[in-house]
Amino acid sequence: MPQMAPMNWLMLFILFILIFMLFNTMNYFSFMYNYDKNYQTKKSEIKKINWKW
Instruction: List the chain domain ranges.
Output: 9-47
Question: With a threshold of 0.85, does the pTM exceed it?
Answer: no
Rg of the chain over all Cα atoms, to the nearest angstrom: 26
The predicted-structure confidence for 1-53, as pLDDT tens digits, reads as follows 556 667 788 899 999 999 999 999 999 888 877 766 666 555 556 666 777 75
pLDDT for residue 10 = 87
